[in-house]
Structure 1
Amino acid sequence: MAHSDYSFPKSDRLCSHTLINQLFAEGKSFVCYPFRVVYKKSNLPDPIHSQVLFSVSKKRFKRAVMRNLLKRRCREAYRLNREEFASFLTQNNQQITFALVYIAREELGYSVIEKGIKKTLTKLQLSLNKNSNHATD
């Protein structure tokens, strides 16, 4: 594994307001507890295969400390489990932007969040596979 596999650089984070607005306006979504996933195929700068955004509801978690803790757990779980997903995107020559919106009503432990991230990435791969197969039909 290269050094970059262990980091979560700014280039992997979805920061562009334009892309974020497009994602929520035109993206497809599904729920994979504890996340709601909104995704959209995008054209990103060359070496980047995906950009992700993590969101935790201010309505459900009033305190910023708790929202930040949950986002940190989500980011860490994603960072450690994105390898397979990244290689899938590279092999299929796809680029996507996606948002992981935390929908659980309570604070979940890291292990539960990590399981959710793994399940979510697998389901996202299946959705992208299905969509790319329909595009070729």
Structure 2
Amino acid sequence: MSSKFPKKEKLKSEILIRSIFEEGKSITSYPLKLIYLDIKEQSRAKIQCGVTVPKRNFKSAVKRNRIKRLLRESYRLNKEQIFNNIEGSFAFLFLYIGKEIPGYEEVEKHMRVILEKFLKKVTNENSIE
């Protein structure tokens, strides 16, 4: 599977985003936070993902966009580790909760940690059921 981030994997549904914030579970690896939701109805993609950076911490749109670009890129390169190991469909929302502009290495490291935590949590939940 090539490392791409096609349109069908992008989280755009306002209803789904709202339900992620209301019902989603979260995992944190500072400065990243992943809020995810198990989607019952089968969507077009196994995982739909969105990224967000709060305007409160970064007033400049240029800085917010840079951080979002870093988040999307590190997700794109590391998504294989979850795509091949999960059942069902999920909606992901990555929040950047840090106060400084990160380097790519920092984002990459925490992205790997957060995806591993997600895998462990989901496989434990599925084994309990």
Partner Cα distance (1:6, 1:102) in 2: 22
- The CA distance in 1 between the partners of 2:107 and 2:126, in whole Å, is 28
Question: CA RMSD, aligned part only?
Answer: 1.2
Per residue, is there more helix in 1 or in 2? Answer: 1
1:44 pairs with 2:48: no
- Residues 43, 89 of structure 2: 8 Å contact kept: no
The alignment status of 1:61 with 2:58, answered yes or no, reads yes
1:104 matched to 2:102: no
TM-score, scaled relative to structure 2: 0.93
**Contact kept? 2:32, 2:94, Cα under 8 Å:** yes
- 2:111 maps to 117
- Which residue, 120, 123, 128 being the options, matches 1:129? 123
**1:35 aligns to what?**
32
Aligned residue for 1:101, secondary structure, equals: strand
Partner secondary structure for residue 6 of structure 1: coil
Instruction: Give the drift of 1:49.
Output: 0.9
Q: TM-score, normalised by structure 1?
A: 0.88
1:7 match: secondary structure: coil
CA distance in 1 between counterparts of 2:6 and 2:72 reads: 11
User: Quick one: distance in 1 between partners of 2:42 and 2:102?
Assistant: 32
Offset at 1:44? 3.4
From 66, 88, 91, give the equivalent of 1:94: 88
Unaligned runs of 5+ in 1: none
Percent of paired sites with the same residue: 34
**For each residue in 1:19-54, what CA deviation from the matched residue of structure 2 results, as whole angstroms up to 9, or x when unmatched?**
1111111111121111111111003325x1101110
Q: Partners of 2:3 and 2:80 in 1: how far apart?
A: 10
